[in-house]
C-alpha cells in the first residue's frame, strides 16, 4: 500500500523591508562568494538536479527571508529553482537528428524544443508490432508447422512468447524506474548490472541486431529470387543436386549488393528510412489481414492449388503442365512431360524409373480448406535427415526397390536435416523486437505509462497471431505443401501466399517490403547502439566508433556493422543465420531479467518502478527460460556466445574505464560481503586456516609520495593476492587542516599499490601525534572477522641521525602495542634492497634463525614467500642454536622429523654457541651506549639542544610497527631455546634460579675501572647481541633473506634507547633481514 504524499507551498512575505537595490547587492556578494568556492572535482552524470550553472548564481534567493540558509544555498539549490529546472527538463528524442535540421538559415526557426507527443499506440504498440512480425512468419512458419506438427509448433511458439512476455515485464519495471536515455536495452542493463555486464550484453545485443539485418537481407533476396523474379539468378544449376549450392551463391551475390545499397541509403539519409517506416508497417498489417481473409475464404471456396503426387511422393511442379503419365490425343496415347522426367525417352517402350512404373500419379488439392479435416494429419511431427523425400502421410504407394536414382528425380526433398531444437533456433527471431518501445522512450508523452502497456499489448497481439496461425495453417494446408519450404509443389508459389486473399502477390510484395524495411532499420539501429557503447568509454578499443559525421551520424560504426552483416550474408542460409542471432538476443533478454530480479531482491533504495506488476520469481523464470532456450536452440552457439560475452566482460574489467553507475552488482557485492562478514567469526581462525592478514605501515614524504615502495612489493610476494592487506599511514595534525593532504596521500598510496600489484585497502589516518595514530590503526583497522593479525613495517635505518627524539620511541611503542594486541610483527631491515616483483632471484637461500618458539611464524613465512615466482628458486635453511648442555645431534634429528611432519622442505643446521668470556669489544659497546644514555638524562638542556646532542633517535622516514614475545627480555642464556615447548619451560625455570650462570668469568687483570660501574644486565644483553651477530653473519651473509626472532622491548621504558642499540648490533653486517615476532598463538600444525 502506497502512502499518499501531499505538498503544500507556503508563500513567505518579505515584509517590504528590503529594496531591489539591496537585493542586487546581496546577489552580487553571493555571486562573488560562489566564484571563489572550490568544486569537489567529481564528474557527475547529466541530471536535472544539478542546476547551479553560472547563470543561476546570484538569483538563488531574494531578500532576507532565507538568510539562515545562505551557506547551504551556495552549494544547494532552492526548491523553487529545483522545481523550475525539473519542469524544463526534457529527454530529447532519441530518433535520428539529421544534419539538415540544423542548417544555418533555418536554425533560428527550429531551436525551440517541442515536447514529445507520441502516445502508447503510435509510439510503442505499432513499432513493437512491426519489429516482432517479420521474415520468419512469411518464409518459415508454414514449414515449421508442417515439420514439427501443430502440437510441437504450439509448444515452440508458447515457449518463445512466454520468454519474451516475462522479459517485457522485467523490462517494463526497469524502464519505468527513471528515464531511459539513448541506448535502450544497453542503457538499462549497464546501469542496473554495471559497466562489465552492460558492455558485454550491449555488444551481444549489437551483434544480434547486426545479424538480424543479415537475416532480413537474406529473406529479401530469397523472396526476390524464389518468388518474384526467379530468372534473375546468376548461378543456375544444370542438375537437381546442385540447385541448393546455386541458390546459396545467388544469395551471397545479391545479398552483398543489397547490403551495399542499404548501407548507402542509411549513410546518405536515415530520415528517409524513418519516413518509410509507416509504409513498411502497412505492408506487414495488410499481409496479416490477407492471411486471415484467405483462411475465412477457404471455408466457402478453397483456392485451387493442386499438387501432383507420384505414389505418396510430392513432385516439384515446375517442368510439367499436366499431372498425368500419358494422355489421349485424337485416340492416340501419348506420353506427357512428366513421363520424360522419369523415363529415357518419350516412347511408351522407354525404360522408366521403377517407382514411377509401379505407382500411379494423383492430383490432390494443396489447400483443402479449414473444414476439410486435414488438421488431424498435421498434428504430429515429420522430422527427417537432409534429402528425405516429402511424402503424404497415410497415402497408398508401392515401395521403391532402387532408391539410388531418387536424388536426380523431381521430388520435393528436405534441404536440411530437421529436429525440434533446430526449429526452436530458427523460430525465435520472430519474437524479438520487444525493445522497440523502450528505445523510443524520449518520444513518448508519458513513457512510464506507455512502455509497459504498449510492449505487453504488442507481445500479446503477436502471440495470438502466431498461435492462431499455427492452428490455421495446420487446419487449411495439406501436410506435403506445409513441408515444402520453397513451394516447389505449388508451381513455386510462396506457401503462405497460396492461402492469402485476394492474391498470393499480396503476401509476396508485402513480405518483400517488410523484410527490406526491417533490414534498413537494423542497419540504422545497430550503429547507434555501438556508438552509445563507444561514447560511454567502457571499452577502450571501440572509442573510434564513437565518432561520426558532423551531424552525429555514426559513420565508422556503420562500416563495422556492414562488415559484420556481410559475414552473415556469406553464410547465405536463413536457417543457419537465425540461430546465431537467437543466441545474442536471448543473452540480452537473460540479463534484462537478471537485472530486474537483482534489483528487486536487493531492495535498493532507488528501485521504485512505476510499473508494479513484476516479481523477482517471474524474472528468474524468464532468465531460466532464456538460458534453456539458448541451449535448446544450439548448445555450441550458446557456448560461443557466452564465451564472447565472457571475454568482453573480462576485458572491460581489466582495461575499461572505472564507472560508478550505482549498479546492482555493486549492491550484490556489498550484500555478499556483509553476509560473509556476519558469518565470519570474530574469534581467530583455526591454525590450519591461519595466514598473515597484513597491516602495512607506510610512511610518506613531504610531497605525500610513498617512501618505501619495496615494502609493498614484499607484501605482494608474501600474500600472492590472498587474504587481507591494509596499507596504513598516519599524518600529524587535525583532519580539518590536513584533509587535502590525506586525500593526496591516499591517492598516491593507491597508485603505488597498483604499481606494485598489491591487492588490498588503503587507510590514511590524521592524528594529533603519530604515536596515537599508529595505535588507532592497530586497534581499529579492519571490520568484524576481517581484521589484520600481522603488522609489517620498515626498520628505522636513520634512527641515530634523527632530529626527532620521539620517532624511535614511537617505533618501540608500536612494538609494545602489537604485542598487547596479540598481533605478529614483521620488521624489514634495508627494505629498499628487497627484490621487486619483476626480479627473479637465482639459486640461493632463505635462512631462518630459530632462537625462540614463536608459534611457527618463522617456518611459515619462507614457505609463503617461495610460492611467489620471485623467491621460487630459493632453498630454505633453518638454523637453531645449541649450548653446552644440549645434544646437538639429537636436536638436529628432532628438528628434521618436525619439519617432515610439517611437510616443509628445508636444510637443518644446529649451531653450537659455547660459553665464552665477555670480550672487551662488548664492554666498550656497552660503555658507549650507557654514556650516551646518561648524557641525555643529566644534561638539563632545552628540548632542541637535547635533540641535537643525543643521536639515539628514530627517523620518521621508516614508520613501521612490530610485536614480539616478552620471552627474550630475560638473560641472554635463553638464546639457545629450541622449538620444543617443554624444553622452553624447563630452561626458563633454570635461568630464573641461576640468573648469572651463563655469564663469562671476567679477566680481572684486563678490567678497566670504568667497566666496573656498567649495568651487568646491559652487558649480558650486548654480549648476546655480539655473539649471535657473529654466528649469523658467518653462516648467512650470502643469503637472499635472513629471518630472525625479534627480541622484545624492555618492560622498563627507561631502557628503550639501549634496546635500539642492541638490535642495531644484532643486525650489523646483514643486508636483507626480516625480524619476526610472533603473535602469541600457533600458526602452523602437523595435522591435516
Q: What is the pLDDT of residue 786?
A: 83
Q: What is the pLDDT of residue 354?
A: 84
Between β-strands 725-732 and 761-767, what pairing exists: parallel, antiparallel or unpaired? parallel
Residue 195 has pLDDT above 70, yes or no: yes
Q: For 723-738, what is the mean pLDDT?
A: 90
Q: How many residues does the chain have?
A: 1088
Between β-strands 332-335 and 361-365, what pairing exists: parallel, antiparallel or unpaired? unpaired
Q: Rounded to 5 degrees, what angle do the CA atoms 866, 870, 875 make?
A: 40
Q: Give kind and range of the element (H or E) at residue 695.
A: strand 694-697
Rg (CA), the chain: 43
Q: For 367-379, what is the mean pLDDT?
A: 88
Rounded distance between C-alpha atoms, residue 181 and residue 189, angstroms: 12
| Joined grid coordinates for residue 225 | 529470387
Q: Give kind and range of the element (H or E) at residue 806.
A: helix 805-820
How many C-beta atoms lie closer than 10 Å to residue 913's C-beta?
A: 18
Sheet holding 361-365, edge to edge: 313-314, 306-310, 361-365
How many C-beta atoms lie closer than 10 Å to residue 676's C-beta?
A: 12
Residues facing residue 332 across a β-bridge: 329
Q: What is the pLDDT of residue 758?
A: 87
Q: For 91-107, what is the mean pLDDT?
A: 39
Phi, psi of 908, rounded to the nearest 5 degrees = -115, 135
Residue 659 has pLDDT above 80, yes or no: no
Rounded distance between C-alpha atoms, residue 80 and residue 864, angstroms: 63
Helix axes 185-193, 504-536, angle to 10 degrees: 40
Q: What is the pLDDT of residue 88?
A: 47
| Joined grid coordinates for residue 72 | 547551504
Position 477 confidence tier, pLDDT thresholds 50, 70, 90: very high
Please list, in sequence order, all residues whose beta carbon lies within 8 angstroms of the beta carbon of residue 1017, skipping any fewer than 6 positions away. 971
Rounded distance between C-alpha atoms, residue 341 and residue 316, angstroms: 11
Minimum mean pLDDT range among 91-105, 787-801, 868-882, 1016-1030:
91-105
Q: What is the pLDDT of residue 326?
A: 85
Chain centre to alpha carbon of residue 392:
53
Under 8 Å between Cβ of 196 and 653: yes
Query: CA–CA distance from 243 to each of 233, 487, 577 (Å)?
Result: 11, 15, 20
Q: Note the helical H segments in 656-784.
A: 664-679, 710-719, 735-755, 770-780
Helix axes 420-427, 141-175, angle to 10 degrees: 60
Residue 133 has pLDDT above 60, yes or no: yes
Measured distance between the N- and C-terminal CA atoms of the chain, rounded to whole angstroms: 57
Q: For 1046-1059, what is the mean pLDDT?
A: 77
Position 96 confidence tier, pLDDT thresholds 50, 70, 90: very low
Residue of 779 and 77 predicted with greater confidence: 779
Please list, in sequence order, all residues whose beta carbon lies within 8 angstroms of the beta carbon of residue 151, skipping any fewer than 6 positions away. 379, 380
Under 8 Å between Cβ of 139 and 223: yes
Phi, psi of 766, rounded to the nearest 5 degrees = -105, 125
- Give the range with max mean pLDDT: 16-20, 594-598, 628-632: 628-632
pLDDT tens-digit series, residues 1018-1027: 777 777 788 8
Rounded distance between C-alpha atoms, residue 788 and residue 761, angstroms: 12
Between β-strands 1073-1077 and 824-829, what pairing exists: parallel, antiparallel or unpaired? antiparallel
| Joined grid coordinates for residue 522 | 537494423
181 half-sphere exposure, CB direction, 13 A CA radius: 12
Under 8 Å between Cβ of 560 and 545: yes
Query: Quick one: what percent of the chain has pLDDT higher than 70?
Result: 75
Find cell 618501540 and name the residue: 812
Phi, psi of 383, rounded to the nearest 5 degrees = -75, 160
Mean pLDDT of the chain: 77
Find cell 515449421 and name the residue: 144
| Joined grid coordinates for residue 448 | 512510464
Q: For 31-42, what is the mean pLDDT?
A: 41
Q: What is the pLDDT of residue 1045?
A: 86
Rounded distance between C-alpha atoms, residue 546 and residue 143, angstroms: 42
Residues facing residue 1077 across a β-bridge: 825
| Joined grid coordinates for residue 997 | 650462570
Q: What is the pLDDT of residue 116?
A: 54
Dihedral angle over CA of 43, 45, 49, 51, nearest 10: 50
Position 906 confidence tier, pLDDT thresholds 50, 70, 90: confident
Rounded distance between C-alpha atoms, residue 126 and residue 123, angstroms: 7
Residue 102 has pLDDT above 50, yes or no: no
| Joined grid coordinates for residue 661 | 553507475
Q: What is the pLDDT of residue 392?
A: 86
Chain centre to alpha carbon of residue 656:
10
Q: Give kind and range of the element (H or E) at residue 907.
A: strand 907-912
- Give the range with max mean pLDDT: 620-629, 689-698, 937-946: 620-629
Rounded distance between C-alpha atoms, residue 1078 and residue 1073, angstroms: 16
pLDDT tens-digit series, residues 854-870: 777 888 888 888 888 88
Rounded distance between C-alpha atoms, residue 393 and residue 805, angstroms: 104
pTM comes to 0.71
Burial class for 119, CB neighbours closer than 10 Å (0-12, 13-18, 19+): middle
Phi, psi of 329, rounded to the nearest 5 degrees = -125, 115
Residue 114 has pLDDT above 60, yes or no: no
Of 974, 1006, 1000, 1004, which is closest to residue 987 (Cα–Cα)? 974
Q: For 877-898, what is the mean pLDDT?
A: 81
Rounded distance between C-alpha atoms, residue 697 and residue 725, angstroms: 11
Position 70 confidence tier, pLDDT thresholds 50, 70, 90: low
Under 8 Å between Cβ of 931 and 952: no
Helix axes 504-536, 555-571, angle to 10 degrees: 130
pLDDT tens-digit series, residues 793-805: 988 877 777 666 6
Burial class for 804, CB neighbours closer than 10 Å (0-12, 13-18, 19+): middle
Amino acid at each position: 500500500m502506497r502512502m499518499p504524499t501531499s505538498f503544500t507551498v507556503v508563500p513567505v512575505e518579505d515584509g517590504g523591508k528590503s529594496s531591489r537595490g539591496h537585493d542586487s547587492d546581496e546577489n552580487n556578494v553571493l555571486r562573488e562568494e560562489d566564484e571563489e568556492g572550490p568544486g569537489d572535482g567529481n564528474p557527475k552524470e547529466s541530471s536535472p538536479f544539478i542546476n547551479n550553472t553560472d547563470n543561476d548564481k546570484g538569483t538563488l534567493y531574494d531578500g532576507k527571508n532565507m538568510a539562515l540558509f545562505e551557506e547551504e544555498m551556495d552549494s544547494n539549490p532552492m526548491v523553487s529553482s529545483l522545481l523550475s529546472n525539473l519542469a524544463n527538463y526534457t529527454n530529447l528524442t532519441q530518433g535520428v537528428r539529421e544534419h539538415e535540421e540544423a542548417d544555418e538559415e533555418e536554425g533560428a526557426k527550429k531551436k525551440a524544443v517541442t515536447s514529445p507527443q507520441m502516445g502508447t499506440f503510435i509510439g510503442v504498440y505499432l513499432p513493437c508490432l512491426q519489429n516482432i512480425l517479420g521474415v520468419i512468419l512469411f518464409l518459415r512458419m508454414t514449414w515449421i508447422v508442417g515439420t514439427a506438427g501443430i502440437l510441437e509448433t504450439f509448444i515452440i511458439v508458447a515457449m518463445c512468447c512466454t520468454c519474451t512476455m516475462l522479459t517485457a515485464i522485467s523490462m517494463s519495471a526497469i524502464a519505468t524506474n527513471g528515464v531511459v536515455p539513448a541506448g535502450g536495452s544497453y542503457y538499462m542493463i549497464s546501469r542496473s548490472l554495471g559497466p562489465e555486464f552492460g558492455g558485454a550484453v550491449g555488444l551481444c545485443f549489437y551483434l544480434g541486431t547486426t545479424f538480424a539485418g543479415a537475416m532480413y537481407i537474406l529473406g529479401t533476396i530469397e523472396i526476390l529470387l524464389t518468388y518474384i523474379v526467379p530468372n534473375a539468378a546468376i548461378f543456375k544449376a544444370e542438375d537437381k543436386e546442385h540447385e541448393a549450392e546455386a541458390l546459396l551463391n545467388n544469395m551471397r551475390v545479391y545479398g552483398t549488393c543489397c547490403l551495399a545499397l542499404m548501407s548507402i541509403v542509411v549513410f546518405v539519409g536515415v530520415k528517409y528510412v524513418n519516413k518509410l517506416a509507416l509504409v513498411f508497417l502497412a505492408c506487414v498489417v495488410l499481409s496479416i489481414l490477407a492471411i486471415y481473409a484467405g483462411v475465412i475464404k477457404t471455408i466457402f471456396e478453397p483456392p485451387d492449388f493442386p499438387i501432383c503426387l507420384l505414389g505418396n511422393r510430392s513432385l516439384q511442379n515446375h517442368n510439367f503442365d499436366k499431372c498425368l503419365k500419358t494422355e489421349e490425343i485424337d485416340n492416340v496415347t501419348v506420353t506427357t512431360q512428366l513421363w520424360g522426367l522419369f523415363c529415357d525417352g518419350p516412347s511408351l517402350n522407354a525404360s522408366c524409373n521403377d517407382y514411377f512404373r509401379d505407382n500411379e500419379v494423383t492430383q490432390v488439392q494443396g489447400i483443402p480448406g479449414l473444414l476439410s479435416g486435414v488438421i488431424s494429419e498435421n498434428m504430429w511431427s515429420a522430422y527427417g535427415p537432409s534429402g528425405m523425400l516429402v511424402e503424404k502421410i497415410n497415402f497408398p504407394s508401392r515401395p521403391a526397390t532402387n532408391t539410388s536414382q531418387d536424388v536426380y528425380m523431381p521430388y520435393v526433398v528436405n534441404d536440411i536435416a530437421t529436429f525440434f531444437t533446430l526449429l526452436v533456433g530458427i523460430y525465435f527471431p520472430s519474437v524479438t523486437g520487444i525493445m522497440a518501445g523502450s528505445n523510443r522512450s524520449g518520444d513518448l508523452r508519458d513513457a512510464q505509462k506507455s512502455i509497459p502497456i504498449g510492449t505487453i499489448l504488442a507481445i500479446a497481439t503477436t502471440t495470438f497471431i502466431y498461435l492462431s496461425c499455427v492452428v490455421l495453417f495446420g487446419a487449411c494446408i495439406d501436410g506435403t505443401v506445409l513441408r515444402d519450404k520453397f513451394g516447389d509443389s505449388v508451381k513455386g508459389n510462396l506457401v503462405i501466399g497460396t492461402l492469402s486473399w485476394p492474391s498470393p502477390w499480396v503476401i509476396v510484395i508485402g513480405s518483400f517490403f517488410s523484410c527490406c524495411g526491417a533490414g534498413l532499420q537494423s542497419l540504422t539501429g545497430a550503429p547507434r547502439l555501438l556508438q552509445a557503447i563507444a561514447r560511454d568509454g567502457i571499452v577502450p578499443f571501440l572509442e573510434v566508433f564513437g565518432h561520426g559525421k558532423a551531424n552525429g551520424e555514426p559513420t565508422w560504426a556503420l562500416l563495422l556493422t556492414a562488415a559484420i552483416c556481410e559475414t552473415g550474408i556469406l553464410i547465405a542460409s536463413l536457417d543457419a543465420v537465425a540461430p546465431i542471432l537467437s543466441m545474442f538476443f536471448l543473452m540480452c533478454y537473460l540479463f534484462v531479467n537478471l537485472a530486474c530480479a537483482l534489483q528487486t531482491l536487493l531492495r535498493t533504495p532507488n528501485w521504485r518502478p512505476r510499473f508494479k506488476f513484476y516479481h523477482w520469481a517471474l524474472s528468474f523464470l524468464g532468465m531460466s527460460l532464456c538460458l534453456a532456450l539458448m541451449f535448446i536452440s544450439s548448445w555450441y552457439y550458446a557456448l560461443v556466445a557466452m564465451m564472447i560475452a565472457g571475454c568482453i566482460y573480462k576485458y572491460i574489467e581489466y582495461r575499461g574505464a572505472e564507472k560508478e553507475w550505482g549498479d546492482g552488482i555493486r549492491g550484490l557485492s556489498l550484500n555478499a560481503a556483509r553476509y560473509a562478514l556476519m558469518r565470519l567469526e570474530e574469534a581467530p581462525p583455526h591454525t590450519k586456516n591461519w595466514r598473515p592478514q597484513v597491516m602495512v605501515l607506510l610512511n610518506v614524504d613531504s610531497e605525500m609520495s610513498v617512501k618505501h615502495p619495496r615494502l609493498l612489493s614484499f607484501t605482494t610476494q608474501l600474500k600472492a593476492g590472498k587474504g587481507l592487506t591494509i596499507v596504513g599511514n598516519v599524518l600529524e595534525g587535525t583532519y580539518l587542516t590536513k584533509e587535502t593532504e590525506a586525500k593526496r596521500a591516499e591517492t598516491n598510496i593507491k597508485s603505488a599499490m597498483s604499481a606494485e600489484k598489491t591487492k588490498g585497502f588503503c587507510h590514511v589516518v590524521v592524528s594529533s601525534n603519530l604515536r596515537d595514530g599508529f595505535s588507532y590503526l592497530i586497534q581499529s583497522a579492519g571490520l568484524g572477522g576481517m581484521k589484520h593479525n600481522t603488522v609489517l613495517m620498515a626498520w628505522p635505518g636513520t634512527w641515530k641521525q634523527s632530529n626527532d627524539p620521539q620517532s624511535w620511541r614511537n617505533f618501540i611503542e608500536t612494538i609494545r602495542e602489537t604485542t598487547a594486541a596479540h598481533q605478529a610483527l614483521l620488521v624489514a631491515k634495508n627494505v629498499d634492497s628487497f627484490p621487486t616483483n619483476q626480479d627473479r632471484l637465482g639459486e640461493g637461500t632463505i635462512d631462518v634463525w630459530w632462537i625462540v618458539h614463536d608459534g611457527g611464524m618463522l617456518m611459515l613465512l619462507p614457505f609463503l614467500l617461495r610460492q611467489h615466482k620471485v623467491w621460487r628458486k630459493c632453498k630454505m635453511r633453518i638454523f637453531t642454536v645449541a649450548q653446552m648442555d644440549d645434544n646437538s645431534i639429537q636436536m638436529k634429528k628432532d628438528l628434521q622429523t618436525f619439519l617432515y611432519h610439517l611437510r616443509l622442505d628445508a636444510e637443518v643446521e644446529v649451531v653450537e654457541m659455547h660459553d665464552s668470556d665477555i670480550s672487551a669489544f662488548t664492554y666498550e659497546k656497552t660503555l658507549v651506549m650507557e654514556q650516551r644514555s646518561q648524557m641525555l638524562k643529566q644534561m638539563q638542556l632545552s628540548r632542541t639542544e637535547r635533540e641535537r646532542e643525543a643521536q639515539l633517535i628514530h627517523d620518521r622516514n621508516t614508520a613501521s610497527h612490530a610485536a614480539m614475545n616478552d620471552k627474550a627480555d630475560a638473560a641472554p642464556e635463553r638464546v639457545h631455546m629450541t622449538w620444543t615447548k617443554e624444553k622452553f619451560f624447563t630452561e626458563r625455570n633454570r635461568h630464573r634460579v641461576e640468573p648469572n650462570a651463563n655469564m663469562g668469568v671476567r679477566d680481572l687483570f684486563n678490567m678497566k675501572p670504568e667497566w666496573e660501574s656498567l649495568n651487568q644486565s646491559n652487558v649480558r644483553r650486548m654480549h648476546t647481541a655480539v655473539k649471535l651477530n657473529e654466528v649469523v653473519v658467518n653462516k648467512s651473509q650470502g643469503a637472499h633473506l635472513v629471518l630472525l626472532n625479534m627480541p622484545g622491548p624492555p618492560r622498563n621504558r627507561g631502557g628503550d634507547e639501549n634496546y635500539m642499540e642492541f638490535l642495531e648490533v644484532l643486525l650489523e653486517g646483514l643486508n636483507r633481514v626480516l625480524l619476526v615476532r610472533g603473535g602469541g598463538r600457533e600458526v602452523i600444525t602437523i595435522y591435516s
